[in-house]
Amino acid sequence: MLKDNEDLTFYSTVPNDVTEQMRMGVYYSGSSPENIAYDYYRAFFENDSELHALINLENKTSACLTVSGDKIDVMIYEYVDNEETDAELMFSGMVYAEYQIDKNTGEIEQIM
């Protein structure tokens, strides 16, 4: 359902990722990352040690998705030109907000 509604392209690797744990979804939509992060997590995370970038080229944001316990942490940043082409550029923009999402219920809580 996520792929059909958000025109999202998933990449199982990120250029210049030295950790080999980064994955990336790039999409064009008015949807804010915290609103699709739960469905994205369920569709694309293979394990909770991965770090995923969710890049919205329409809204010009990039979100860092990580998991700790039963929470998905979503840190939203200002998009930096071409950051999807280089892991070293990712998440270097200004921080906009942070959310935590319950992995079991999908409930969203704004942290910052």
- pLDDT tens-place string over residues 23-70: 999 998 888 999 999 999 999 999 999 999 999 999 999 999 999 999
pLDDT tens by residue, 17-32: 999 999 999 998 888 9
Please state whether 43 falls in left (phi above 0), alpha (psi between -120 and 50) or beta.
alpha
Q: Hey, what amino acid is at 84?
A: E
Q: For residue 3, what is the DSSP state?
A: H
Total-model pTM: 0.93
Residue 24 — φ and ψ, nearest 5°?
Answer: -150, 140
Residue 77 — φ and ψ, nearest 5°?
Answer: -120, 160
Tokens of 109: 């809580």
